[in-house]
């Protein structure tokens, strides 16, 4: 169980940082698309978030997931890129832990395993952002719940499929 | 005397088709070994097995025994290897881990818990040795390729390991950078008796300093040479090549049709670095043009302007008789092919077939036509047997060939290639250059950016030399001899950079 | 997305403070942004924050990027509150659309709270050099192998941004279009995948280079500088914690009575 949860070798730590930067840049790319198409639901951003949260853990386990999540959140804060970045600190950490707890218990060979792990990280992660929306932005809790649920639903399915295929491609490439 | 490196019956990985097999050799103190060989011959993997990266970093099983100064590397953790070996790779930017030069050179010393005073002195001395005195506070991101690689060397040398292992250390450097680095390696080897093992595709410049050459093929050391033997054999091959297949660089008397015209064009980057100033040139149909010049002289900027990736701040560029602008960009690009220096910037597919077919797919080509063209192109670059393989499993040289195939598949009239032979060994380079010259004979126009002066001289009909963002020379290759001194002044020494006889 | 670190020059007032003092200040700002409920109080908190930045760094230029983000957020919040707020009295009705009196005050306080958090975060995360952050993490007993990752990220962010741009350029020369939003969506995979493969190769190489230079060889290492907390830092930290505690107790007391 331990080795399915943790990896603290240099390769994993450096991987967390480098993949964290990819995560951050792709969040900006998808954020720009959301800004035009769906500024409130953030479906592309949400999917991108779930995808990286999953992929990094599959590749490097913990604490790599938390490190890259924190990196993404901190840079988003330092550059004032997203107004909700403060809540990403918690969402990224908790979502990542939830994903790795589920992923450690499953073989992660079937699509259903990926979906299950995504449910865990999306529900917890989106819950953190929802709390932020309610307490800081004073959004009505029902509205916050509906938007968060839509994002969770879309992101879980799309990111589940994506993590499975991209992780498969990476394994096939023999780079990891 | 104990051999510093001893490899016995090495096989890796333990599979049916291993990447390394039957490796047996000894390297003694003070040796300067150069390892070369074709694409995917196992050179880099061999180095990894000496540094201990195999089996410690890349988790795979190794059969046989690798000992360094009498100790089995299987029993040594990787972070203790710095007592024995210093390791340097191709891309300096991946080996600089700190924000400024001082911190970077001090990185390894700090890890060894050496007292601060001693570190300061060591950093100062090593930087002085690599010719970067006073660079302590420079940002690592602002160094040129050659400087960056020398900072990496300083960081490795500061640790005082008795053996230095280098994997293609000059692949990204210009002729001047290469020369400087090799000179320093030669000094270290002669004066400090440092053992050096270096892997390189093109070795004519470094061979002067070496005492043995290993030639690898299919994961085995196929032949061992003395530098003299290697040099003689190479020269023989070269002369034969020239006899049988004389590359056509003689100026043709065909009527000239201008396909690209650059007039008074300038470009400057935001940070005031690099760019091009006041460029005027015409490229004729069927030209095989080599753009040469040191790093930062503006070669890539010029190429990027030609394909519309950078918009000139002044002047205009005409391609196929039309002024390059946003409207006709897509149309013009469909008639040109641009090969980037780094093939990894474009490879994304799961199979070679899919990768090569990508631009045809974007054009909406029919499947049968696509399959046929993809097959042809893969066959041409010699990768047909790998059609269904994941591109990332190929070696760097093979990925370069794949990128070329994906450009050629759309049958461009004008091919621009940024360092098409980087990462390729001599034979592969000749294959690529022969093909490009074939295309140029068939009426296609080729522009290459290259640091390889031998190739530039032997293949192109025209040379354009850039210096400090300006065109310094634009000459026919047959007139090269009249301009050798001017070229030498701007760091491009065509008088065969280092010849064996000079040793 | 350039990260600017005023500490690079080592001449500003802000560099006289320990990163731990700055962290405590950040906590104070976050606490007040979450606990204050009226627009007036929130405005005061924001003004205090801005003044501190102005005094310590002499410039507010770096916060310019915030303005667009916050304006966009403000607009979004206003629309959402106008559509969904059901507090206060009904002031306008058109079909199912109902606008209540509390909509605008709620949008305003929400925007102020978010602005304070964004401002304070930016203030904190750009207040020290990466090296100081690393040293601070080490003071919190985080092993150096983890703490040094801060510098590593700052080193590679600009490099990898440039690389992503090169990948986009490379693919556009192969015919990939990047004009409309739809093009952008379609181009995610052909630009992201080379970036991912490159990143994995890069991280493998960087990790190997670091380890072969003794990274993680022992539990400690020699750093070229150290943090030394000054007396005034300690006084400030204690004072700020007291402020939070007192204000918290005051908030709770009416409930207790």
| Total domains present in chain B | 4
Mean pLDDT calculated for residue range A14-39: 89
How far apart CA B206 and CA B181 sit, in angstroms, is 9
CA distance, residue B261 to nearest chain A CA (Å)? 36
How far apart CA C183 and CA B472 sit, in angstroms, is 41
Pair C34, C113: CB distance under 8 Å: yes
**Nearest one of B473, B343, B478 to B419, comparing CA atoms:** B343
Predicted complex ipTM: 0.92
Q: Give the C-alpha distances (Å, rounded to integers) separating A173 from A170, B394, B458, C67, C86.
A: 5, 9, 37, 44, 55
Which pairs count as long-range contacts for C139-143, CB under 8 Å and 24+ apart, including other chains? C139/C20, C139/C227, C143/C219
How far apart CA B371 and CA B380 sit, in angstroms, is 14
How far apart CA B36 and CA B231 sit, in angstroms, is 13
Which residue from C174, C209, C222 is facing B94, i.e. has the nearest CB? Answer: C209
Q: Is the pLDDT of residue B7 over 80?
A: yes
Which residue from A10, A11, A172 is facing B390, i.e. has the nearest CB? Answer: A172
pLDDT of residue C10: 52
pLDDT tier, B452 (very low <50, low <70, confident <90, very high otherwise): confident
The DSSP annotation for B258-326 comes to EEEEEEEEEE--TTS-S-EEEEEEEEETT-EEEEE--TTSSHHHHHHHHTTSS--SEEEEEETTEE--T
pLDDT tier, B243 (very low <50, low <70, confident <90, very high otherwise): low
Q: Is the pLDDT of residue A57 over 90?
A: yes
**Nearest one of C4, C11, C151, C108 to C63, comparing CA atoms:** C4
Mean pLDDT calculated for residue range C44-71: 86
| Total domains present in chain A | 1
Whether residue B392 and residue A11 make contact (CB cut-off 8 A), yes or no, is no
pLDDT of residue B248: 53
Indicate whether B238 and B260 sit together in one domain: no
Nearest residue in chain C measured CA to CA from B157? C213
Q: What is the CA radius of gyration of chain A?
A: 15
- Please report residues of A whose CB lies closer than 8 A to that of C152: 14, 17
Indicate whether B404 and B446 sit together in one domain: no
Mean pLDDT calculated for residue range B57-79: 85
Enumerate residues 1 to 40 of chain A having a beta carbon within 8 A of any beta carbon in chain B.
10-11
CA distance, residue A25 to nearest chain C CA (Å)? 7
Q: Is the pLDDT of residue C107 over 90?
A: no
Between residues B253 and A52, which one has the greater pLDDT?
A: A52
pLDDT tier, C2 (very low <50, low <70, confident <90, very high otherwise): very low
- Please report residues of B whose CB lies closer than 8 A to that of C175: 330, 333-334, 359, 362-363, 410
User: β-strand B32-37 against B20-27: which pairing, if any?
Assistant: unpaired
Q: Give the C-alpha distances (Å, rounded to integers) separating A157 from A91, A169, B261, B385, B436.
A: 19, 19, 52, 37, 47
CATH code (residue A161): 1.10.1760
CA angle A61, A67, A71 (to 5 degrees): 140
Partner A contacted by C65 (CB < 8 A): yes
Indicate whether B317 and B358 sit together in one domain: no
Whether residue C224 and residue B102 make contact (CB cut-off 8 A), yes or no, is yes
Whether residue C174 and residue B346 make contact (CB cut-off 8 A), yes or no, is yes
Which tokens is B230 given? Answer: 């290697």
B301: Cβ contacts below 8 Å, ≥ 6 apart? B267, B269, B274, B275, B276, B310, B469
pLDDT of residue C210: 92
Considering chain A, what percentage of its residues have pLDDT values greater than 90? 48
Whose tokens are 């052909």? That residue is C190
Mean pLDDT calculated for residue range B7-20: 81
Distance of CA B110 to the CA centre of its chain: 32
Mean pLDDT calculated for residue range C150-178: 89
Residue where a domain stops, chosen among B160, B186, B201: B160
Nearest residue in chain C measured CA to CA from B412? C174
Mean pLDDT calculated for residue range B316-323: 89
Indicate whether B15 and B52 sit together in one domain: yes
Whether residue C160 and residue A71 make contact (CB cut-off 8 A), yes or no, is no
CATH code (residue B222): 3.40.50.300
pLDDT of residue C6: 40
Indicate whether B80 and B195 sit together in one domain: yes
- Please report residues of B whose CB lies closer than 8 A to that of C158: 141
Helix (H) or strand (E) holding C236: helix C231-256
**Nearest one of C231, C158, C114, C135 to C3, comparing CA atoms:** C158
pTM: 0.90
CA distance, residue A126 to nearest chain B CA (Å)? 31
Indicate whether B358 and B418 sit together in one domain: no
The per-residue pLDDT for range B341-385, each reduced to its tens digit, is 888 998 989 899 889 998 888 888 888 888 888 988 898 888 888
How far apart CA B451 and CA B454 sit, in angstroms, is 9
Pairs across A and C, CB distance < 8 A: 164
Mean pLDDT calculated for residue range C191-197: 92
B361: Cβ contacts below 8 Å, ≥ 6 apart? B370
Q: Is the pLDDT of residue C152 over 80?
A: yes
Indicate whether B320 and B292 sit together in one domain: yes
Which residue from B141, B304, B406 is facing C159, i.e. has the nearest CB? Answer: B141
Distance of CA B423 to the CA centre of its chain: 5
Pair A2, A13: CB distance under 8 Å: no
Q: Is the pLDDT of residue B66 over 80?
A: yes
Enumerate residues 152 to 181 of chain B having a beta carbon within 8 A of any beta carbon in chain C.
155-156, 159
CA distance, residue B244 to nearest chain C CA (Å)? 35
Range of the domain at A113: 2-173
Q: What is the CA radius of gyration of chain B?
A: 24
Which residue from B78, B309, B338 is facing C212, i.e. has the nearest CB? Answer: B78
Please provide the average confidence, as pLDDT, over all residues in chain B: 85
Phi/psi at B341 (5° precision): -60, -40
Whether residue A173 and residue B393 make contact (CB cut-off 8 A), yes or no, is yes
Whether residue C149 and residue A17 make contact (CB cut-off 8 A), yes or no, is yes
Partner A contacted by C29 (CB < 8 A): no
Q: Which of the other chains make 3 or more beta carbon contacts under 8 angstroms with chain C?
A: A, B
Range of the domain at B365: 343-411
Query: Helix %, strand %, coil % for chain B, to 5?
Result: 40, 25, 35
Whether residue A10 and residue C145 make contact (CB cut-off 8 A), yes or no, is yes
User: β-strand B63-68 against B5-12: which pairing, if any?
Assistant: antiparallel
pLDDT tier, C4 (very low <50, low <70, confident <90, very high otherwise): very low
Q: Is the pLDDT of residue C224 over 50?
A: yes
* HEC sequence for A12-72: HHHHHHHHHHHHHHHHHHHHHHHHHHCCCCCHHHHHHHHHHHHHHHHHHCECHHHHHHHHH
Residue where a domain stops, chosen among B244, B274, B301: B244
How far apart CA A76 and CA A138 sit, in angstroms, is 22
Q: Is the pLDDT of residue B464 over 90?
A: yes
pLDDT of residue C186: 85
The per-residue pLDDT for range B151-194, each reduced to its tens digit, is 998 998 888 888 999 988 888 788 888 888 898 899 989 998 89
- Please report residues of C whose CB lies closer than 8 A to that of B326: none
Nearest residue in chain B measured CA to CA from A167? B350
Between residues C208 and A173, which one has the greater pLDDT?
A: C208
Strand order in the sheet with B71-72: B20-27, B5-12, B63-68, B71-72
The per-residue pLDDT for range A117-163, each reduced to its tens digit, is 999 999 999 998 888 888 877 778 888 888 889 989 999 999 999 99
Tell which phi-psi region holds residue C88, choosing left (phi > 0), alpha (psi between -120 and 50) or beta: left
Nearest residue in chain A measured CA to CA from B59? A176
Pair B473, B464: CB distance under 8 Å: yes
Which tokens is A158 given? Answer: 């799309």
pLDDT of residue C106: 82
Partner B contacted by C164 (CB < 8 A): no
- Please report residues of B whose CB lies closer than 8 A to that of C167: 345-346
């Amino acid at each position: 169980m331990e080795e399915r949860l943790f990896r603290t070798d240099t390769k994993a730590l450096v991987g967390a940082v480098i993949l964290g930067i990819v995560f951050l840049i792709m969040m900006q790319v998808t954020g720009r698309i959301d800004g035009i198409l769906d500024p409130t639901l953030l479906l592309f951003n949400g999917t991108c978030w779930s995808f990286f949260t999953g992929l990094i853990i599959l590749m490097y386990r913990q604490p790599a997931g938390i490190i890259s999540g924190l990196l993404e959140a901190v840079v988003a804060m330092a550059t004032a890129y997203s107004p909700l970045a403060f809540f990403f600190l918690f969402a990224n950490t908790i979502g990542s832990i939830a994903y790795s707890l589920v992923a450690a218990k499953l073989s992660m060979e079937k699509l259903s395993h990926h979906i299950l792990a995504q449910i865990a990280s999306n529900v917890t992660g989106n819950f953190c952002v929802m709390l932020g929306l309610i307490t800081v932005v004073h959004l009505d809790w029902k509205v916050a719940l509906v938007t968060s649920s839509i994002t969770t639903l879309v992101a879980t399915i799309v990111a589940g499929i994506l993590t499975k295929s991209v992780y498969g491609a990476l394994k096939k490439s023999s780079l990891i | 005397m104990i051999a510093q490196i001893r490899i016995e019956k090495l096989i890796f990985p333990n599979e049916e088709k291993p990447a390394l097999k039957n490796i047996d050799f000894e390297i003694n103190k003070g040796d300067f070994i150069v390892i070369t060989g074709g694409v995917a011959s196992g050179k880099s993997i061999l180095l990894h097995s000496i540094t201990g990266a195999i089996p410690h970093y890349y988790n795979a099983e190794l059969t046989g025994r690798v000992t360094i100064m009498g100790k089995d590397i299987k029993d040594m953790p990787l972070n203790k290897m710095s007592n024995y070996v210093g390791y340097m790779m191709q891309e300096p930017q991946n080996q600089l881990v700190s924000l400024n030069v001082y911190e970077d050179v001090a990185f390894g010393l700090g890890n060894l818990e050496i007292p601060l005073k001693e570190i300061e002195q060591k950093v100062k001395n090593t930087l002085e040795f690599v010719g970067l005195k006073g660079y302590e506070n420079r940002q690592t991101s602002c160094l040129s390729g050659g400087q960056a690689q020398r900072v990496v060397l300083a960081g490795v040398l500061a640790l005082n390991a008795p053996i230095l292992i280098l994997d293609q250390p000059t692949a990204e450097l210009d002729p001047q950078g290469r020369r400087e680095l090799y000179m320093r390696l030669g000094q270290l080897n002669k004066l400090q008796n440092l053992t050096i093992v270096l892997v390189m595709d093109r070795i004519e410049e470094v061979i002067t300093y070496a005492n043995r050459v290993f030639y690898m093929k299919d994961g085995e050391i196929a032949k061992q040479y003395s530098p003299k033997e290697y040099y003689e054999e190479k020269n023989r091959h070269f002369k034969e090549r020239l006899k049988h297949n004389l590359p056509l660089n003689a100026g043709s008397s065909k009527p000239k049709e201008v396909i690209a015209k650059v007039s008074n064009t300038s470009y400057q980057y935001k940070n005031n670095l690099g760019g091009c100033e006041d460029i005027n040139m015409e490229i004729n149909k069927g030209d095989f043009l080599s753009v040469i010049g040191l790093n930062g002289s503006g070669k890539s900027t010029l190429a990027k302007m030609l394909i519309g990736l950078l918009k000139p701040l002044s002047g205009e560029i005409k391609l196929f008789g039309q002024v390059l602008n946003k409207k006709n960009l897509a149309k013009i690009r469909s008639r040109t092919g641009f090969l980037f220096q780094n093939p990894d910037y474009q490879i994304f597919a799961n199979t070679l077939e899919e990768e090569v077919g990508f631009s045809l797919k974007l054009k909406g080509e029919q499947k049968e036509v696509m399959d046929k063209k993809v097959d042809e192109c893969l066959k041409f670059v010699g990768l047909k047997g790998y059609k269904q393989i994941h591109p990332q499993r190929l070696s760097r040289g093979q990925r370069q060939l794949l990128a070329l195939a994906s450009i050629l598949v759309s049958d461009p009239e004008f091919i621009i290639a940024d360092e098409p032979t980087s990462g390729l060994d001599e034979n592969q380079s000749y294959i690529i250059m022969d093909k490009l010259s074939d295309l140029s004979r068939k009426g296609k126009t080729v522009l290459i950016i290259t640091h390889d002066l031998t190739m530039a001289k032997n293949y192109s009909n025209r040379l354009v030399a850039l210096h400090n963002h300006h065109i310094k020379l634009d000459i026919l290759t047959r007139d090269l001899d009249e301009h050798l001194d001017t070229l030498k002044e701007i760091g491009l020494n065509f008088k065969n950079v280092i010849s064996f006889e000079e040793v | 997305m350039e990260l600017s670190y005023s500490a690079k020059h080592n001449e500003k007032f802000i560099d006289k403070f320990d990163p731990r003092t700055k962290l405590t200040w950040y906590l104070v700002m976050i606490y007040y942004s979450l606990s204050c409920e009226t627009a007036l109080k929130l405005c005061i908190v924001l003004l205090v924050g801005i003044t501190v930045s102005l005094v310590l760094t002499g410039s507010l230029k770096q916060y310019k990027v915030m303005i667009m983000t916050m304006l966009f957020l403000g607009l979004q919040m206003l629309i959402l509150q106008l559509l969904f707020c059901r507090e206060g009295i009904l002031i306008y009705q058109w079909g199912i659309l109902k606008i209540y009196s509390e909509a605008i005050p709620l949008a305003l306080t929400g925007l102020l709270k978010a602005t304070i958090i964004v401002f304070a975060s930016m203030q904190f995360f750009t207040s020290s050099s990466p090296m100081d952050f690393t040293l601070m993490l080490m003071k919190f007993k985080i092993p150096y192998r983890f703490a040094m990752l801060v510098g590593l990220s700052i080193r590679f962010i600009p490099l990898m941004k440039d690389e992503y741009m090169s990948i986009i350029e490379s693919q556009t020369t192969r015919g990939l279009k990047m004009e409309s939003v739809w093009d952008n969506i379609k181009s995610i995979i052909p630009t992201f995948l080379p970036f991912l493969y490159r990143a994995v190769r890069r991280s493998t190489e960087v990790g190997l280079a670091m380890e072969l230079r003794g990274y993680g060889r022992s539990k400690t290492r020699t750093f070229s500088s150290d943090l030394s907390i000054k007396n005034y830092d300690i006084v400030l930290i204690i004072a700020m914690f007291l402020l939070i505690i007192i204000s918290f107790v005051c908030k709770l007391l009416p409930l207790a009575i």
